[in-house]
Amino acid sequence: MKTCLKTLPIAAIILIASISGVYGGEISVAGKPSSDTIRNDATEYTIAANLRANNTPAWSNDEEDFSFATRGFIATDDPLIIPSDYPNYTSWNMEIFSYLDNGTCPDTINPLLCRHARLNNINGLFEVVPGIYQVRGYDITAMSLIRGDTGWIVIDPMHSVETARAAMSLVNRTLGDFPVKAVIYSHPHVDHYQGVKGVVTDEEVFAGDVEIIAPVGFMEHAVSENVYAGTAMQRRAKYMYGLSLLRDEKGLVDNGLGKYPAVGRASLIAPTIDINRTGQTLTVDGVRMEFQYTTNTEAPVEMNIWFPDHKALFMAENCVGTLHNILTLRGAQVRDPLSWAESLDEARRLYGDQAEVVFTAHNWPRFGNDKVVELLENQRDMYKYINDQTLNLMNKGYTMDEIANMIVLPKSLQEYWYTHGFYGQIYMGVKATYQRYLGFYDADPINLKRLPPEEFAQNITRYMGGADAVLPKLAEDYEAGHYELVASIAHYLVFADPTNMDAREMEAAALEQLGYQAESGPARNAYLVGAQELRSTEPVQGRTMISADVMSAMSLSQLLDYLAVRLNSQKADGEDFRMELVINDTSDKATVQVKNSVLVYWLDESSTEADVTVHMPRETLEQLALDPTLPPTGVIATGDSSVFERFIGMLDVFDPGFNIVLP
């Protein structure tokens, strides 16, 4: 199988198609190249680099992953195309990746990523062990199901309502139509809970027929990561997940954890049962579960689950078929590789001598006690190695960028496919670890406060003799295959003068080749989306990932915190007022103060000093937090009503299409 995956020359194929993508509940149309947009072929240097990528000892065990990924197959939908609830959009399309299964790897794809993408192409309903099943390849996340006495326990109901619903339909058609008795969110990343209303309803949960189980702190972290920084994260996610790319050999291939976040509606139902400690047990519908509560690992709060009656260990996203991210490219709180390694070792000590299978929220299971222990130990050592060696070199005076170019995994770990960087990369993990311990500053005073990027770019371009003097040198370096150098220098020309299309094309061409060479799916996507936006003269279109459904699950304090994020400091400058806020269809109330260009509030407090008292329904406050440009309805203001009107005028609307590769 190794030979068929090596990079072989092929004719350039440009698939002209309009592919739709959605992230977090809002539609974003994927990039469709205009008639004058050209995506380059792989150069001879990229072909050579991809051939060199095959020099990994992991090829000595190529068959095992394919055996595990196909084991227990029961059924799938053919063709696997899931329509979206949005008219004229497709929620999920696996057929478009079928070219990966033709036995060769295009020049424009790193052959190791190509192999991994083939594994993630395997889709359908699988029996993990009797009583435990997974639906894989219906979304970026695998949905797991445990058969109880009367119904199903569902773990991680995918990224969208549509894909979760399709997965549940496959299960019901194939294994029998039984009710869902519980849903488990393993952690607060959107692809593990947004599809919940594809498997259960609010009414079933409110009636007590279905429990929603999650680690304590789930709602806090789901909101802080996906709402407070939601617009910025959504914009960055388009780079990481390649949402605007064509799904072909010059575009989106795979994301390491799966193909891409599904298109569709986002939903959320708040947990009814919290898991707050390791060793906590639950029995739901006759299914015994023991939880390992892990913090500061792949998510701020996360939990693994031991099923003693099945000798099966669910490792959530703490242990998948690739090196994970210590800091995801979309942006998040930096993770702790030492805590991560310790949690993997704790799982090994608690369950390693009993587990006969390990299954996770992404990729495929591993069968046999020896394989369970091997995975836990090797991934433990992988994260610990990144932590320890980064600290080792930090203490020798090396900086973040220097260390990122120095550390590679030992050969003893490189022989396993799941230590390869199909999602995260070693250099990414090193930079994240450096940031965790020392922050952004490398102790060189020049980096205390840098010039704004545009100002610096204009001056460095002037020092280099201007764009006309630099572009010929860049062309020479491009022809010599020095793509990182070319992209870095061309970036200055672009920020100095974004109308210079020659400079933009030079940077785009270099980024494109770096994307073709990348082992990491998200790194490939970031390079190629950057190239796409540099070549386009159209403004980037985007919509917020934050849905009304998420707003309805937020507490009053969370909604007010988000309004504080929206407050424009310049518009609020000089303001000093208090509002008494009364939510008239709940028992909630708060006093809100704007002073010193800061919004602070006190819950369940009334103020005799309030300038205005504002009564509104809960839905109006949610809408105000979601989109302050829409006129609020059902508002009754007593006192100085102009205060409330001024307050609304101080709330910013964030542009989800802000520039990244352009100033």
Please return the burial class of 582, using the count of CB atoms within 10 Å of its CB with bins 0-12, 13-18 and 19+: middle
**By the 8 A CB rule, do 289 and 305 touch?**
yes
Tens digit of each residue's pLDDT (9 = 90 or more) over 314-325? 999 999 999 999
Query: What is the domain-level CATH number for residue 430?
Result: 3.60.15.30
**Which residues does residue 105 pair with via DSSP β-bridges, in sequence order?**
7
pLDDT at 147 over 50: yes
Residue whose pair of structure tokens reads 């403004």 in the numeric block: 539
**Which residues does residue 314 pair with via DSSP β-bridges, in sequence order?**
305, 359
**By the 8 A CB rule, do 428 and 329 touch?**
yes
Asked if residue 663 belongs to a domain, the reply is: no
In the predicted model, what is the mean pLDDT of residues 443-448? 94
Query: What is the domain-level CATH number for residue 492?
Result: 1.25.40.880
Q: Residues 223, 372: one domain?
A: yes
pLDDT at 308 over 50: yes
In the predicted model, what is the mean pLDDT of residues 166-178? 97
Confidence label for 43 from pLDDT (cuts 50, 70 and 90)? very high
Q: Residues 398, 524: one domain?
A: no
**By the 8 A CB rule, do 344 and 319 touch?**
yes
607: containing domain: 555-649
- Print the SS3 string covering 553-604: HCCHHHHHHHHHHHECHHHHCCCEEEEEEEECCCCCEEEEEEECCEEEEEEC
Q: Which helix (H) or strand (E) holds 222?
A: helix 218-223
Asked if residue 655 belongs to a domain, the reply is: no
Q: Residues 132, 31: one domain?
A: yes
Query: What is the domain-level CATH number for residue 624?
Result: 3.30.1050.10
Q: How many domains does the chain have?
A: 3
- Write down the pLDDT at residue 545: 66
Across the chain, what does the average pLDDT equal?
Answer: 92
- Residue by residue, DSSP assigns 361-411 as SSS--EESHHHHHHHHHHHHHHHHHHHHHHHHHHTTT--HHHHHTT----H
pLDDT at 155 over 90: yes
Q: Residues 464, 427: one domain?
A: no
Residue whose pair of structure tokens reads 């095992």 in the numeric block: 64
Confidence label for 194 from pLDDT (cuts 50, 70 and 90)? very high
Tens digit of each residue's pLDDT (9 = 90 or more) over 485-533? 999 999 999 999 999 999 999 999 999 999 999 999 999 999 999 999 9
Asked if residue 77 belongs to a domain, the reply is: yes
- Write down the pLDDT at residue 37: 66
Q: Residues 458, 330: one domain?
A: no
| Upstream peptide bond of 365 is cis (omega within 30 degrees of 0) | no
Q: Residues 488, 568: one domain?
A: no
pLDDT at 35 over 50: no
Q: Residues 280, 213: one domain?
A: yes
DSSP for residue 39: P
- Write down the pLDDT at residue 10: 22
Q: Residues 410, 514: one domain?
A: no
Q: Answer with the one of 486, 506, 535 that is the final residue of a domain.
A: 535
- Write down the pLDDT at residue 547: 76
Q: Residues 284, 405: one domain?
A: yes
How distant is the alpha carbon of residue 393 from its chain centre?
A: 29
- Write down the pLDDT at residue 645: 96
Asked if residue 95 belongs to a domain, the reply is: yes
Tens digit of each residue's pLDDT (9 = 90 or more) over 450-463? 999 999 999 999 99
pLDDT at 14 over 50: no
Number of neighbouring beta carbons within 10 Å of residue 629 = 8
Asked if residue 439 belongs to a domain, the reply is: no
In the predicted model, what is the mean pLDDT of residues 174-185? 98
Q: Which amino acid is at 499?
A: T
Is residue 655 classed as helix, strand or coil in its secondary structure? Answer: coil
What sign does the CA torsion over 169, 362, 218, 654 have? negative
Q: Residues 335, 271: one domain?
A: yes
Residue 211: HSE in the Cβ half-sphere, 13 Å Cα cutoff? 14
Q: Answer with the one of 434, 460, 494 that is the final residue of a domain.
A: 434
Is residue 26 classed as helix, strand or coil in its secondary structure? Answer: strand
Q: Residues 515, 590: one domain?
A: no
Q: Answer with the one of 489, 506, 535 that is the final residue of a domain.
A: 535
pLDDT at 19 over 60: no
Asked if residue 501 belongs to a domain, the reply is: yes
Asked if residue 550 belongs to a domain, the reply is: no
pLDDT at 11 over 60: no
Q: Which amino acid is at 122?
A: I
pLDDT at 25 over 70: no
pLDDT at 246 over 80: yes
In the predicted model, what is the mean pLDDT of residues 389-409? 97
Backbone angles phi, psi at 180, to 5 degrees: -85, 125
How distant is the alpha carbon of residue 578 from its chain centre?
A: 39
Q: Residues 249, 124: one domain?
A: yes
Q: Would you state the structure tokens that stand for residue 471, as one six-digit string?
A: 């572009």
Asked if residue 546 belongs to a domain, the reply is: no
